Amino acid sequence: MTLLSTPADRSASGSRLERLGAAHVALAVALVIFPAIGSDFFLTQIGGYSLIFGMLALSLMMLAGYGGMVSLAQMTVAGIAGYMVAIFGQNSSGVLGFGWPWWIAVPFAVLVAALASALIGAISVRTEGIYTIMITLAIATATFYFTQQNYTIFNGFPGFAGLKAPVFWSVDWRSPVAFYYLCLGMAALVYAAVLYGSRSTFGLTLQAIRDNPRRMRAIGFDVTAHKIFAWFLAGVIAGLAGVLLVWFNGRISPGTIGVSAAINVLIIAVIGGIRHPIGPFLGAVVVVMMQTFAIDIVGAERFNTLIGLVFLVIVFVSPDGLLGLWGKIKPHIAQESLRSGP
Amino acid sequence: MNIHKRTLLLLAMATALSSPHLALADDASIKIGVLATFEGPFTVLGEDGMRGAMTAVDEVGGMVGGKKIEIVKGSSDASPDSAVRAARKLVEQDGVKVLVGPLSGDEGVAVKDYAKTQPNVTFINGTSAAQDTTLRNPAPNFFRFSTDGAQWMAGLGTYAYQVKGYKRVAVVAEDYSFPYTQVFGFMAEFCKAGGKVPSKSWVPIGNKDFSSVIAAIPDDVDAIYVALGGADAVNFLTQFQQAGGSAPLIGGSITVDQTVLTSKGKTRDVLIGTPSAGPVADTNDTPAWKAFVAAYKKQPDAFPSPSLFAHGYYVDMKATLLALGEVKDDVSDGGVKLRDALSKLSFDTPTGKVSLDKNRNAIADIYLTEVTAGSDGNLYNKLVKVIPQVNQTLGIPEKDFLALGAVGRDNPSCP
């Protein structure tokens, strides 16, 4: 909570508030007071889970939207962070578990994930478009099978259990409200960072590289280094999401980082739209709601069909996802309000 | 302002549809959650488990203890994560106080761990048959009336060695806790009888290409013990047949189950004559079993004979309903009375008497079978022998049994 309210407190002056945007303030307020109305289930299973998947999709949105690199390996990067927390922190599976305190294990896990992400970037950076997708998909699949069949380090199919959020600052971060705020704080942090970063010199250079790499290289920019650094930053975001994900599930297994989970991240980003960092979070809310409640609407045998249909409809109506849909509706609303004048 | 109204209407509809907990809570009904695999490689198995559970519900006319039964379904894809997520939704969102499920081995271990965090909810297993769900660190509110995978193998090792005359057997099994448990149950007897297992191949769940596995099986074995489930079993058997495999097979319980026997293709040629063991036998001719088959067949899309998943979910749902009836659906005390009734429960299932041990794991009859073609062209598991009242430690004193160690890829071993 502190993470969010401090910037709001500081922005007492009108110009600051304006720059922050009314929509942002309204959204922040709504998200902060959500625990007052949401049940525990909605806080963690919908709220927390959406925020975590939103962060994952955000790391993809950053690579795809600003860098033009569509990656299917973001779930793998998150999984690496998750496995690091399980292996170097405490788990109840009786395999490894070095018992490092969380404040060492977590930064270490995120760092390893970011470095792994940079490595994936270095491998795939010379490819473009569909070939990047294929290479990252291959890496994701290979990692999935590697964790599933390696019992000495990754404990194979069952994976690790008993991974819980720590207790610090005398707050139990595994309780629903605290965990929700933890996810919200982290999501707000990376969201603001990406928004800020996109307007920074590095962000603008990256977007220029996306639009015309050859020209950027001719001017003298090191295109490869910029791209790999973008992968590193995306890895930090995915790594943070991965740590939150294992705290959320209380466990990690190859199923967590399987191919369908990796594709889910792409679906979320596409549903939400990759033009603006808010898109992935919108997409995550829709997908998580669908996955949780579709079974109640159409029954156990056909619910995946309904999920697929909704995805199809969204992408069919608006190729830019929900963000694009909003872009289409907004002028209509403005027109309507003009017409319905006195 | 048309668009506003329409948007609002849509939003309202979406909210109404997506928040079933807002629907009026009905005091005249009792909610039971059923968790099964409706996604992934075990979908067919999960659907048949559901048929079994519904058979038990229909048997009591959808009423228990004077209240209407309301079934809330949850779906997993056989991974432990998805099982816990689905269980959480059923418990924390739909508010079920009684949950029947899950289906697969590691799911059971994960849900048992979750059960410890929900002491007021009663968990009754589906067909998950990993040993450690109840043997080590059991949860006080997790019950299993459907026995475990090692119990299912009772009698098979001795039968394969003494009657079939197989001295050396290779193992091909999926790489997770349930096949470990099955291999443990088979080898415990087979090795004791004097048999040898020179090679074990552990394949990942959901494997499609078995050619390298088939090539790696030693030539000098008398038979191959196969413990694969659902789509994996069908893929293996088809490829084994195409590769010209001629070694006789020994089946794990779910490898020669109706979920596999009813598959189309040439798998049937390699399967006929395969001995196996499990909680059910298709050609069991006791009146109780026949009555169960008749009741089961009323379910939509039912198999010619109920699979062990239908049977397991039926037995666990039946136990749930019997106990709920006994306490008149009263779970307002956090399920204390219900769990008390469940622990003391002992009843006759279509496959004989079931009772629980101190870890809340079932003691029940196990059926030794062989695959045969029926007169109608379908494949059936022919009943060879009944092994009465097998307990979780397979008749070995508990201390000695625990000393054998946890099941795993390398335990047991008799090369």
Q: What is the DSSP string of B301-338?
A: T--SS--HHHHHHHHHHHHHHHHHHHTTT--TTTTHHH
Segment among A171-180, A198-207, B165-174 with least mean pLDDT: A171-180
Which residue would you say has higher pLDDT here, A334 or A232? A232
Q: Say which residue the tokens 């001995």 belong to.
A: B275
B107 in contact with A, Cβ within 8 Å? no
Q: What is the pLDDT of residue A342?
A: 47
Angle at Cα A55 formed by Cα A275 and Cα B39, nearest 5°?
A: 105
CB contact under 8 A, A293 and B39: no
Rounded mean pLDDT of A160-177? 82
Closest partner residue to B205 (CB to CB) among A157, A162, A304 is A157
* Predicted confidence (pLDDT) per residue in B244-254, tens digit: 888 899 999 98
Question: Which residues of chain A are within 8 Å of residue B110 when distances are taken between CB atoms?
Answer: 161, 251
Closest partner residue to A301 (CB to CB) among B47, B79, B81 is B47
What would the two tokens of residue A10 be? 């500081």
Closest partner residue to A251 (CB to CB) among B4, B77, B110 is B110
Say whether pLDDT at B18 is over 80.
no
- CA-CA distance, B152 to B138, in Å (whole number)? 20
Rounded mean pLDDT of A209-221? 92
B79 in contact with A, Cβ within 8 Å? yes
| Phi-psi region at B173: left, alpha or beta (left = phi > 0; alpha = psi -120 to 50) | beta
Q: What is the pLDDT of residue B171?
A: 94
Q: What is the pLDDT of residue B13?
A: 54
Question: Which residues of chain A are within 8 Å of residue B205 when distances are taken between CB atoms?
Answer: 148, 157
Its ipTM equals 0.78
Question: Which residues of chain A are within 8 Å of residue B106 when distances are taken between CB atoms?
Answer: 157-158, 253
Task: Select from A301, A317, A328 the residue whose CB has the most chain B CBs within 10 Å, as the one to mutate to test that interface.
Answer: A301
- Mean pLDDT of all residues belonging to chain A: 86
CB contact under 8 A, A161 and B113: yes
Rounded mean pLDDT of B277-292? 92
Among candidates A189, A237, A230, A235, which has minimal Cα distance to A213?
Answer: A230
- CA-CA distance, B402 to B353, in Å (whole number)? 26
Over pLDDT 90: what percentage of chain B? Answer: 51
Q: What is the pLDDT of residue B374?
A: 85
What would the two tokens of residue A313 be? 């409809």
Rounded mean pLDDT of B144-170? 92
Among candidates B189, B238, B179, B246, which has minimal Cα distance to B211?
Answer: B238
Say whether pLDDT at A22 is over 70.
yes
Rounded mean pLDDT of A10-17? 48
Say whether pLDDT at A173 is over 80.
yes
Closest partner residue to A255 (CB to CB) among B74, B81, B175 is B81
* Predicted confidence (pLDDT) per residue in B92-108, tens digit: 888 899 999 899 888 99
CB contact under 8 A, B74 and A295: yes
Residues 276-295 of B with CB under 8 A from A: none
Q: What is the pLDDT of residue A239?
A: 96
Closest partner residue to B79 (CB to CB) among A255, A301, A304 is A255
- Give the pLDDT band (50/70/90) at residue B5: low
Closest chain B residue by Cα to residue A252: B81
Q: What is the pLDDT of residue A3?
A: 41
Among candidates B190, B192, B199, which has minimal Cα distance to B221?
Answer: B199
- CA-CA distance, B167 to B390, in Å (whole number)? 25
- Give the pLDDT band (50/70/90) at residue B338: very high
Question: Which residues of chain A are within 8 Å of residue B36 when distances are taken between CB atoms?
Answer: 300
Closest partner residue to A333 (CB to CB) among B3, B73, B88 is B3
Question: Which residues of chain A are within 8 Å of residue B88 when distances are taken between CB atoms?
Answer: 41, 45
Among candidates A317, A315, A307, which has minimal Cα distance to A272?
Answer: A315
Q: What is the pLDDT of residue A126?
A: 86
Q: Spell out the long-range contacts of A123-126 with Cβ–Cβ below 8 A and sequence spacing 24 or more.
A: A124/A69, A124/A71, A125/A69, A125/A224, A125/A227, A125/A228, A125/A231, A126/A224
- CA-CA distance, A284 to A281, in Å (whole number)? 5
Rounded mean pLDDT of A180-203? 93
For residue A18, how many other CB atoms are within 10 A of its CB? 10
Which residue would you say has higher pLDDT here, B263 or B161? B161
Rounded mean pLDDT of B12-32? 59
Segment among A113-117, A234-238, A244-248 with least mean pLDDT: A244-248
Among candidates B344, B350, B337, B333, which has minimal Cα distance to B294?
Answer: B350
Question: Which residues of chain A are within 8 Å of residue B177 when distances are taken between CB atoms?
Answer: 157-158
Q: What is the pLDDT of residue A320?
A: 82
User: What's the gap in Å between the CA of A135 and the closest CA on chain B?
Assistant: 21
Q: What is the pLDDT of residue B14?
A: 54
User: What's the gap in Å between the CA of B18 and the closest CA on chain A?
Assistant: 6
User: What's the gap in Å between the CA of B32 and the closest CA on chain A?
Assistant: 14
- Give the pLDDT band (50/70/90) at residue B137: confident
Most confident by average pLDDT, A113-117, A155-159, A267-271, A286-290: A113-117
CB contact under 8 A, A329 and B177: no
Angle at Cα A255 formed by Cα A249 and Cα A261, nearest 5°?
A: 90
* Predicted confidence (pLDDT) per residue in B183-214, tens digit: 999 998 899 899 999 999 998 887 889 999 99
Q: What is the pLDDT of residue A151?
A: 85
Q: Say which residue the tokens 């659907």 belong to.
A: B47
Q: Is B29 helix (H, G, I), strand (E, B) or coil?
A: strand
User: What's the gap in Å between the CA of B386 and the closest CA on chain A?
Assistant: 33
- Mean pLDDT of all residues belonging to chain B: 87
Rounded mean pLDDT of B158-162? 93
Rounded mean pLDDT of B258-272? 80
Question: Which residues of chain B are within 8 Å of residue A300 when distances are taken between CB atoms?
Answer: 36, 38, 50, 73, 75
What is the count of residue pairs from A and B with beta carbons less than 8 Å apart?
104
* Predicted confidence (pLDDT) per residue in A28-76, tens digit: 888 888 888 888 888 888 899 999 999 999 999 999 999 999 999 999 9
Closest partner residue to B38 (CB to CB) among A40, A161, A301 is A301
Q: What is the pLDDT of residue A12?
A: 42
Show Cβ contacts of residue B411 under 8 Å, excluding neighbours closer than 6 positions: B184, B404, B405
Segment among A16-30, A83-97, B242-256 with least mean pLDDT: A16-30
Closest chain A residue by Cα to residue B409: A151
Say whether pLDDT at B356 is over 70.
yes
Most confident by average pLDDT, A26-35, A85-94, A202-211, A258-267: A202-211
User: What's the gap in Å between the CA of B139 and the closest CA on chain A?
Assistant: 14
B316 in contact with A, Cβ within 8 Å? no
Say whether pLDDT at B20 is over 70.
no
Which residue would you say has higher pLDDT here, A233 or A36? A233
- CA-CA distance, B129 to B312, in Å (whole number)? 10
B7 phi/psi in degrees, rounded to 5: -60, -45
Say whether pLDDT at B160 is over 90.
yes
What would the two tokens of residue B286 be? 């006791």
- Give the pLDDT band (50/70/90) at residue A222: very high
Segment among B21-35, B113-127, B219-233 with least mean pLDDT: B21-35
CB contact under 8 A, B109 and A158: yes
Say whether pLDDT at B15 is over 80.
no
B350 in contact with A, Cβ within 8 Å? no
- Measured CB to CB, residues of chain A less than 8 Å from chain B are 39-42, 45, 92, 145, 148-149, 151, 156-159, 161-162, 249-256, 258, 260, 289, 292-293, 295-297, 299-301, 303-304, 329, 332-333, 336-337, 340
What would the two tokens of residue B52 be? 């079994």
Q: What is the pLDDT of residue A1?
A: 37
Question: Which residues of chain B are within 8 Å of residue A292 when distances are taken between CB atoms?
Answer: 89, 93
